[in-house]
Amino acid sequence: DIQMTQSPSSLSASVGDRVTITCRASQGVSSWLAWYQQKPEKAPKSLIYAASRLQNGVPSRFSGSGSGTDFTLTISSLQPEDFGTYYCQQYNSYPLTFGGGTKVEIK
Amino acid sequence: QMQLVESGGGVVQPGRSLRLSCAASGFTFISYGMHWVRQAPGKGLEWVALISYDGRNIYYADSVKGRFTISRDNPRDTLYLQMNSLRAEDTAVYYCVRSGGSGSSTNWFDPWGQGILVTVSS
């Protein structure tokens, strides 16, 4: 199984800050990597797929990069509504696996 | 508007069975692979199972293999998860999710249902 490791596990940042979350795969997943945002008591929402493709309707302040084993989700200017937990997920091979999550709090 | 609505959750004793259903609307159901993803209370996300658009290809997480069965009824736009021999560790919110695309290498998840809680407890 491919293990996905996210860092940090949590962060606190101010509105307007640039925020970066990293995701590392235990083996290469090419560009088959997605990112999700989950708010408390809500279903996750797709942000990015294929490592860098923005899902329709997602604000352009979100961006993704990387390939192989190392990936990054960047929020260029953090907004109050960006609080929540962010997960990466690989879909290169079965079983499909998620990272452990990064909880983002607004200072 | 794409929509996935789960039903069939609840409280069940260990060792018993439960069947979840997911009604899809707003997209061409027969064109997409479908998944179940679960989240234990306070924990992260865990992929459970995938069924291809035509039902011919099915994959399971090791944690449910041999106990859970995913199936679909394309004329009724409905996805199912039959859960047998339930354990306390199966307690979770179960999400019905569509594959993000309809071709190959499309097993990201979009959209998601609202989720339904399954509690396994005596």
pLDDT digits (tens, 9 = 90+) for A37-89: 999 999 999 999 999 999 999 999 999 999 999 999 999 999 999 999 999 99
Q: Considering only CB atoms, which chain B residues are within 8 Å of A34?
A: 100, 108-109
Q: Report the sign of the C-alpha dihedral through residues A65, A71, A76, A78, in that order.
A: positive
pLDDT beyond 90 at B101? no
Compute the mean pLDDT over every residue in chain A, rounded to the nearest whole number.
97
Contact predicate B40/B24, CB 8 Å: no
Q: Is the link from the previous residue into A40 a cis peptide, with omega within 30 of 0?
A: no
Q: Do A97 and B47 touch (CB under 8 A)?
A: yes
Q: Closest Cα to residue A105, out of A6, A19, A7? A: A19
CB proximity list for A12: less than 8 A, separation 6 or greater: A104, A105, A106, A107
Counting every residue written for chain B, the total comes to 122
**Residue B104 scores a pLDDT above 80:** no
Please tell me the predicted confidence (pLDDT) of residue A79.
Answer: 97
- Nearest residue of B to residue A95, measured between CA atoms: B61
* Cβ neighbours of A43 in B, within 8 Å: 95, 112-115
